[in-house]
Amino acid sequence: MNLKKGSHNCITDIAGVQIGHVTLYEKLDEEQTICTGVTAILPHKGNLFRHKVHAGSAVLNGFGKTAGLVQINELGLVESPIMLTNTFSVGSVWQGTLDYMLDTTEEIGDTTSSINIVVGECNDSYLNTARYPAIKPEHAVKAIKSASTSPVAEGSVGAGKGMVCFGYKGGIGTASRIVSHKSINYQIGGIVLSNFGKRGDALFARWEPVQQDTPDGSIMMILATDAPLLERQLQRLAKRCAAGLGRTGSQLANGSGDIAIVFSTANKVPHATDSYTQTVDYLRDDHPLMNQLFQAVVEIIEESVIRSLQMAETTEGRKGRIVTKAPL
Amino acid sequence: MNLKKGSHNCITDIAGVQIGHVTLYEKLDEEQTICTGVTAILPHKGNLFRHKVHAGSAVLNGFGKTAGLVQINELGLVESPIMLTNTFSVGSVWQGTLDYMLDTTEEIGDTTSSINIVVGECNDSYLNTARYPAIKPEHAVKAIKSASTSPVAEGSVGAGKGMVCFGYKGGIGTASRIVSHKSINYQIGGIVLSNFGKRGDALFARWEPVQQDTPDGSIMMILATDAPLLERQLQRLAKRCAAGLGRTGSQLANGSGDIAIVFSTANKVPHATDSYTQTVDYLRDDHPLMNQLFQAVVEIIEESVIRSLQMAETTEGRKGRIVTKAPL
Amino acid sequence: MNLKKGSHNCITDIAGVQIGHVTLYEKLDEEQTICTGVTAILPHKGNLFRHKVHAGSAVLNGFGKTAGLVQINELGLVESPIMLTNTFSVGSVWQGTLDYMLDTTEEIGDTTSSINIVVGECNDSYLNTARYPAIKPEHAVKAIKSASTSPVAEGSVGAGKGMVCFGYKGGIGTASRIVSHKSINYQIGGIVLSNFGKRGDALFARWEPVQQDTPDGSIMMILATDAPLLERQLQRLAKRCAAGLGRTGSQLANGSGDIAIVFSTANKVPHATDSYTQTVDYLRDDHPLMNQLFQAVVEIIEESVIRSLQMAETTEGRKGRIVTKAPL
Amino acid sequence: MNLKKGSHNCITDIAGVQIGHVTLYEKLDEEQTICTGVTAILPHKGNLFRHKVHAGSAVLNGFGKTAGLVQINELGLVESPIMLTNTFSVGSVWQGTLDYMLDTTEEIGDTTSSINIVVGECNDSYLNTARYPAIKPEHAVKAIKSASTSPVAEGSVGAGKGMVCFGYKGGIGTASRIVSHKSINYQIGGIVLSNFGKRGDALFARWEPVQQDTPDGSIMMILATDAPLLERQLQRLAKRCAAGLGRTGSQLANGSGDIAIVFSTANKVPHATDSYTQTVDYLRDDHPLMNQLFQAVVEIIEESVIRSLQMAETTEGRKGRIVTKAPL
């Protein structure tokens, strides 16, 4: 079974979702190269703190540094942009995202409570001089401000600039699916930051194994849907990303941070309201559309990984290392 | 990458692991058929309560009734046979397994503490008259007593008698792998009870989708290894089963209990001892053998599912329903 | 702050909740005594499978054998009575509860899916000859059928017959609270099966430590509320039971199964329906009533434990052991 | 039962553990005051990345922003200082801690993998102008470099400078215990950052409830022991902090980040080694010392909270707000 793709086969097919990239590339000297970036995912066009979205996460393998999952798990909500970057820039991007949210939301930390910032990462230190702090808080702000609902640039862009996947150039990939039953239609889309795998592991290509000196790597997977789902159900979707990774050939290696976050744009939860209750209309777990959504997650992860390779370009990084575009 | 298979490609390749089946089949009348069974997995040949093994579990989808996971998660140990049966026989098999352990271990519940019984299940009510309580505690005892280290009978046998997988006859499957690095070798094997999937989902065959009236089904996955692993590491292995399922085409459907338990035979933990500490020598997480073990889990799950189909036979169950052997 | 108690300070203050006890006591010979029982908690008066309730659980310490949590965690629903008994009778009570549900719900396992049975336990083998299988499936059926909305019998009754708490006679205790804000009122109540603690640990009494040969023991905690809460929120309530235990003096000992299940009667979820979505109106997490509910959980657990002691009676069990009523 | 206190009743009673504080206080204008800080906890005196310690965590309530738990949970290790600060300075302190680790460990991000930074927080925005980014990365570095094994300064110091607890001035508190059995002795100590509670909730004092406009607040709890424990066992200790909070009167309020991290100094795990296995000698779960350690956790949390109040001083913060020292 293959589900129908969304109109642009892109996470921005889900109405309101916006993606922004900032890409940094600079040869510092013979040895050192800045080859990295930031990617911002905005669940909707309004103020994300004032109107939160339901979300769930899954840590499929936890050799990762993602910040913000504790509160997502407790409250089932995302209230900030979801940011992706390199491993050593989590602090910087966290700071920039906070700066942006404070600038646009004067009540945070003054008359109301704190805000939960979400930053995921993969380790691009094979190509990028990661010890050099190239990414500054303002790059996070710029990625957020440049976010748009247009089809997403993929491959060696944004946080994907320095990533390596199956021994070829990886990075950003996206895909989307439409699920439908009778007259009901929902859309679901995903974006991945791919940075894992040995060449011989790929199931979608027949590549000879080579000796690779890249570390185990990681993958960040962010999905959005307009299906009305509770946080528990979004967690269920997040867990299905493991099956999608399995289809690519991944075994979720030891040194990998394989982390998924899924949010729904269907129900917004206001930060402040006069009502003491919240009403939500959610899809029943036993409805056929739920299994279609699970299937969609699996397909989206598999295809997004492949696209992250297809859309990437051969890249030279630190120490003169060159990672080539995959023959796909 | 494909790892080397164990000598019999079977979970009993891991020294000491024993499997026993009890199969029940009887046409009760025109409408009703008993078509079910029990499978016992014994981690070693000694008294399992007095010498426990390290274990970890993962609930990949929790529409299931497996008993015993609470204590496995807290203490990281298995202290009884691991039993598989149909959904409505969890109580009966739990009782029989307790009976067996009490009979063979006089101190339990008298001078020492309680015992944790582990029973997993899949729903065979498409073929089996599940509402009829055919399985009695003594069937569990018989499955345990008949367990042997011989290569495992597969297909429509034991708990697998009434199971349906990808719309064909499923049931018991097994596979094993050898991981090696320099002079170090470990073995790992698995046994599955397969009962999930729609025909068109399979990735290992090209089958036309058909209208299926079987429910979502489930899969139980039990793995054994002689690699010296801590409970945390065994949990990591258990989580990789999701990638193995993904490779078969599963999307871990809503109504599925997709549950994995992995144990290691390398270190036995005595129930009673004079020592106040326990010494364990465990494989480092960053050693290349760990990623090989992860890969082995993925391959074993995929192959065990396929074998459960290949080794099954066309079976007639209740209401005259016939599930055919897969064309594999 | 102490919250107002419910009209009977009892879990049955929550409309529709019913409790049933079956108590077994028989001196078999000089050495052996049956001193045990079964307690059934029914969330409402209708068919529990056809109209499920939202539920959450927390395993505060997992040296326990509770069956049924896997599916509660996945789907956030309870669809059967919640049963309490002794450790070795989980299988028997599981079977009896299944029998009851099959008898009253003909579609289970025939035209529709399986059912998730929930059985919790504590180890009463200090007083009860636990190795003797006194509890049969029909005792579970009897406990369910005898359940009523009347104020609950407490102390050495039902599953509490053989339990020991802080070295005195423990067992069943209950308490309830009313939370209110402006014109909104909710009720919450709990029932515990107390079987833990050393005498010197109690914070609610000044008892001299004595040499105790009882094992670490356990406590099962079941709470019901008419506040409209999602499964995630009910999990949050369940986790607060640890603070309630802390107030009694418990340190959640190693050998203890300290397990909480909380359900809400406010929203029933039909098993079958024509609607593809489910609408739920739930209390906002940041509403003052939520903190009151958290406080109520803490108070209910503390008071239920104390009441389980106050309402118990001196009991003679196996090997001539006598556990006395606490001087409270 | 009350356990014996350590020689200084301080987390630094555990050999090698070091604590460093940086405190910032400055009245910016009539309205705004910097009243915050950073506290660093170093598990031992060597390079923390090259020699890691076993660790476990528990999120008792997850309305918090702690970074670094994902990897602790996966690998059971801490490989950096554990940092505490205010909510909005997580990014800054994360960056400073990374800077320090990169400066002292040249292989990170170059020839070897990434590093996991751990930063916990409470919200001091009642007294502190949290929107003003007073804390810079260098303050984190300074806190680390100033860390010592001396008895810890408590109260309104370091990250505790602006915290409020039970409506009085809170902040840093510490305590320690000795557990012993025959000739075996272990030490365990804790440090808390207290920032929660309504006045009328306290169980250790009889305070009149007052109208409080402080938010729900949070508490970070870090414990260290020289008992040889696995990560699973350290998680068990971490979960017992909930019972300790319960004894103070906490109900773990909705808006609270109640998070515990526990590490053991007994076994160091080298980042790089020639050995493919790791040997660990750990305390058996059923040894009486384990229950003593659980009891110690409960007592340490309760006493540390009380000490954080006793050692604090009346403090004036932003908007002229004055939080007084508790009458203890």
The three-state DSSP-derived secondary structure of D188-206 is: EEEEEEEEECCHHHCCCCC
Q: For the domain C4-272+285-311, what is the CATH superfamily, name and number?
A: L-amino peptidase D-ALA esterase/amidase (3.60.70.12)
Going by pLDDT thresholds of 50, 70 and 90, the confidence category of residue B112 is confident
| D294 to C209: CB separation less than 8 angstroms, yes or no | no
Name the residue facing C287 among A232, A276, A279 (closest C-beta): A276
Tell me the mean pLDDT in the region C38-60: 98
pLDDT digits (tens, 9 = 90+) for B227-273: 999 999 999 999 999 999 999 999 999 999 999 999 999 999 999 99
Report the alpha-carbon distance of residue B145 to residue B147 in Å, rounded.
Answer: 6
Closest CA–CA distance from residue B243 to any residue of chain D (Å): 18
Closest CA–CA distance from residue A51 to any residue of chain C (Å): 14
Name the residue facing B277 among D76, D278, D283 (closest C-beta): D283
Name the residue facing D276 among B74, B76, B184 (closest C-beta): B184
Catalytic status, residue D103: no
Catalytic status, residue C258: yes
pLDDT score of C171: 98
Report the alpha-carbon distance of residue D55 to residue A31 in Å, rounded.
Answer: 37
Cite the beta strand spans of B171-324 per DSSP E: 172-181, 184-196, 217-225, 257-270, 277-283, 315-316, 322-323
Report the alpha-carbon distance of residue B155 to residue B157 in Å, rounded.
Answer: 6
CATH of domain A4-273+282-314: 3.60.70.12
| B63 to C75: CB separation less than 8 angstroms, yes or no | yes
ipTM for the predicted complex: 0.98
Name the residue facing A110 among D70, D75, D131 (closest C-beta): D131
Closest CA–CA distance from residue D229 to any residue of chain C (Å): 14
Cite the beta strand spans of chain D per DSSP E: 4-5, 18-27, 33-42, 51-62, 77-78, 82-86, 118-122, 164-165, 168-169, 172-181, 184-196, 217-225, 257-270, 277-283, 315-316, 322-323
Residue B1: pLDDT over 70: no
Residues D155, D323 contacting (CB under 8 angstroms): no
- Could you say which architecture CATH assigns to the domain B4-270+284-312? 4-Layer Sandwich (3.60)
Q: How far is CA C94 from CA C38, C45, C86, C108, C138, in A?
A: 11, 20, 12, 16, 11
Going by pLDDT thresholds of 50, 70 and 90, the confidence category of residue B212 is confident
Report the alpha-carbon distance of residue B196 to residue C324 in Å, rounded.
Answer: 54
Cite the beta strand spans of A151-276 per DSSP E: 164-165, 168-169, 172-181, 184-196, 217-225, 257-270
Tell me if chain B has a CB within 8 Å of the CB of A106. Answer: no
Report the alpha-carbon distance of residue A319 to residue A162 in Å, rounded.
Answer: 13
Q: Tell me how far apart the terminal alpha carbons of chain B are, to the nearest angstrom.
A: 23
Residue B145: pLDDT over 90: yes
Question: Which one is catalytic: D258, D264, D304, D308?
Answer: D258
| D95 to A92: CB separation less than 8 angstroms, yes or no | yes
| B246 to A245: CB separation less than 8 angstroms, yes or no | yes
Assign D143 to helix, strand or coil.
helix
**Neighbouring C-beta atoms of residue B205, cutoff 10 Å:** 15
Catalytic status, residue A258: yes
Tell me the mean pLDDT in the region C21-40: 97
CATH of domain D4-272+281-315: 3.60.70.12
Tell me if chain B has a CB within 8 Å of the CB of D228. Answer: yes
Residue B176: pLDDT over 60: yes
Nearest chain B residue to D283 by CA distance is: B277
Question: Which one is catalytic: B57, B156, B250, B256?
Answer: B256
Closest CA–CA distance from residue A20 to any residue of chain B (Å): 30
Report the alpha-carbon distance of residue A303 to residue A298 in Å, rounded.
Answer: 9
pLDDT digits (tens, 9 = 90+) for C262-279: 999 999 999 999 999 999
Question: Which one is catalytic: A92, A176, A258, A264?
Answer: A258
Closest CA–CA distance from residue B225 to any residue of chain C (Å): 25
Angle between helices B231-248 and D231-248 (to 10 degrees): 110
Q: Which chains touch B (3 or more CB pairs under 8 A)?
A: A, C, D
pLDDT digits (tens, 9 = 90+) for C224-261: 999 999 999 999 999 999 999 999 999 999 999 999 99
Nearest chain C residue to B68 by CA distance is: C65
| A246 to B246: CB separation less than 8 angstroms, yes or no | yes
Q: How far is CA D61 from CA A70, B127, D232, D240, in A?
A: 9, 46, 19, 13
Which residues of chain B make contact with C92, given a CB cutoff of 8 A? 91, 95
Which residues of chain B make contact with A188, given a CB cutoff of 8 A? none
Report the alpha-carbon distance of residue A161 to residue A313 in Å, rounded.
Answer: 9
Which residues of chain A make contact with C233, given a CB cutoff of 8 A? none
Name the residue facing C91 among B63, B64, B95 (closest C-beta): B95
Residue D88: pLDDT over 80: yes
pLDDT score of B211: 86
Going by pLDDT thresholds of 50, 70 and 90, the confidence category of residue C211 is confident
Q: How far is CA C165 from CA B192, C124, C212, D292, in A?
A: 42, 11, 11, 18
Closest CA–CA distance from residue C209 to any residue of chain D (Å): 8
Residues D224, D192 contacting (CB under 8 angstroms): no
Tell me if chain D has a CB within 8 Å of the CB of B289. Answer: yes
Closest CA–CA distance from residue C202 to any residue of chain B (Å): 23
In whole numbers, what is the pLDDT of chain B averaged over residues?
A: 97
| B63 to C69: CB separation less than 8 angstroms, yes or no | no
Write out residues 22-61 of D within 8 Å (CB-CB) of C. Answer: 60-61
pLDDT digits (tens, 9 = 90+) for B264-310: 999 999 999 999 999 999 999 999 999 999 999 999 999 999 999 99
Residue C1: pLDDT over 70: no
Amino acid symbol at D113: S
**Neighbouring C-beta atoms of residue B9, cutoff 10 Å:** 18
Report the alpha-carbon distance of residue D22 to residue D34 in Å, rounded.
Answer: 13
Report the alpha-carbon distance of residue A169 to residue D235 in Å, rounded.
Answer: 39
Provide the number of CB pairs (under 8 Å) joining chain B to chain C: 126
Write out residues 244-283 of B within 8 Å (CB-CB) of A. Answer: 244-247, 250-255
Cβ partners under 8 Å of residue D128, min gap 6: D33, D34, D35, D36, D86, D134, D161, D162, D317, D318
pLDDT digits (tens, 9 = 90+) for D137-171: 999 999 999 999 999 999 999 999 999 999 999 99
Cite the beta strand spans of C49-160 per DSSP E: 51-62, 77-78, 82-86, 118-122
Closest CA–CA distance from residue D60 to any residue of chain B (Å): 17
Which residues of chain B make contact with D280, given a CB cutoff of 8 A? 279-280, 282
What is the share, in percent, of chain B residues with pLDDT greater than 70?
100
Residue C14: pLDDT over 60: yes
| A239 to B246: CB separation less than 8 angstroms, yes or no | no
Residues A162, A194 contacting (CB under 8 angstroms): no
Picking from C35, C65, C105 by the largest number of B CB atoms within 10 A of its own CB, the best residue to mutate is C65
Residue B323: pLDDT over 80: yes
Q: Which chains touch A (3 or more CB pairs under 8 A)?
A: B, C, D
Report which of C141, C188, C200, C192 is spatially closest to residue C170, judged by C-alpha positions.
Answer: C192
Q: Which chains touch C (3 or more CB pairs under 8 A)?
A: A, B, D
pLDDT tens for chain A, 328 residues: list them: 589 999 999 999 999 999 999 999 999 999 999 999 999 999 999 999 999 999 999 999 999 999 999 999 999 999 999 999 999 999 999 999 999 999 999 999 988 889 999 999 999 999 999 999 999 999 999 999 999 999 999 999 999 999 999 999 999 999 999 999 999 999 999 999 999 999 999 999 999 998 888 888 899 999 999 999 999 999 999 999 999 999 999 999 999 999 999 999 999 999 999 999 999 999 999 999 999 999 999 999 999 999 999 999 999 999 999 999 999 9
Write out residues 190-209 of A within 8 Å (CB-CB) of B. Answer: 198, 200-201, 203, 209
Rounded to the nearest 5 degrees, what angle is found at the Cα of D222, between the Cα atoms of D216 and D224? 160
Name the residue facing D64 among A66, A71, A255 (closest C-beta): A71
Environment class of C131 (CB within 10 Å of its CB; exposed 0-12, middle 13-18, buried 19+):
middle
Which residues of chain B make contact with C91, given a CB cutoff of 8 A? 90-95, 98, 117, 137
Which residues of chain B make contact with A285, given a CB cutoff of 8 A? 254
* Rg value, chain D, Cα: 19
| B94 to C98: CB separation less than 8 angstroms, yes or no | no
Residues D209, D113 contacting (CB under 8 angstroms): no
